[in-house]
């Protein structure tokens, strides 16, 4: 069973994967296929995580396909028909997304203002000198 507990992180992994395809895959047909595979993988992970198991030892994702009743062990390779035909499949896309999700460190989303150097703290503007007009 696989459950995405940090949906923000997962969303970022998916966005990164899509932009990587956009930037690195030059063949339009292959690009479309990978984007479809990533989209399907994202939906499958979110909806059918109960039928997936992440195998940390060999970094593969076991996916029980309810459609074919086969279990696929996907990492760079897969055992499904699409892979046999040399096409991108959502199993491999899902395995990659989960691997990246597992490897991505938890980065806090909120940053405190005092940690941002370009925001000066405690800047006080004297009201009476704003734009040279005395306002109080
Ligand atoms: Zn596959």
What is the 118 CA–ligand 1 centroid distance (Å)? 48
User: Whole-number mean pLDDT of the chain?
Assistant: 86
Q: What is the pLDDT of residues 27-77, one digit of tens each?
A: 999 999 999 999 999 999 999 999 999 999 999 999 999 888 999 999 999
Question: What's the DSSP call for residue 67?
Answer: T
- H/E stretch holding 63 reads strand 60-64
What pLDDT is attached to residue 67? Answer: 84
Q: pTM of this prediction? A: 0.76
Q: Which residue has the higher pLDDT, 123 or 60?
A: 60
CA 129 / ligand 1 centre spacing (Å): 68
Q: Are 101 and 108 in contact (CB under 8 A)?
A: no
68 alpha carbon to ligand 1 midpoint, in Å?
Answer: 11
Check residue 133 and give its pLDDT: 63
Would you state the pLDDT for residue 66? Answer: 86
Non-local CB neighbours of 119 within 8 Å, separated by 6+ positions: 113
CA of 63 to the centre of ligand 1 (A): 9
């Amino acid at each position: 069973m696989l459950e995405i507990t940090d949906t923000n992180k997962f969303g970022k992994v998916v966005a990164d994967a899509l932009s990587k395809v956009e930037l690195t895959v030059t063949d339009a047909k292959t690009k479309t296929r990978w984007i479809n595979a990533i989209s399907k993988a994202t939906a499958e992970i979110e909806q059918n995580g109960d039928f997936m198991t992440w195998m940390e030892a060999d970094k593969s994702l076991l996916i029980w396909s309810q459609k074919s009743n086969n279990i696929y062990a996907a990492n760079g390779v897969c055992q499904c028909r699409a892979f046999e035909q040399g096409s991108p499949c959502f199993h491999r896309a899902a395995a990659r997304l989960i691997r990246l999700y597992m490897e991505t460190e938890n980065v806090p989303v909120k940053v405190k203002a005092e940690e941002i150097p370009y925001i000066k703290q405690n800047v006080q503007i004297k009201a009476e000198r704003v734009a040279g007009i005395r306002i109080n």
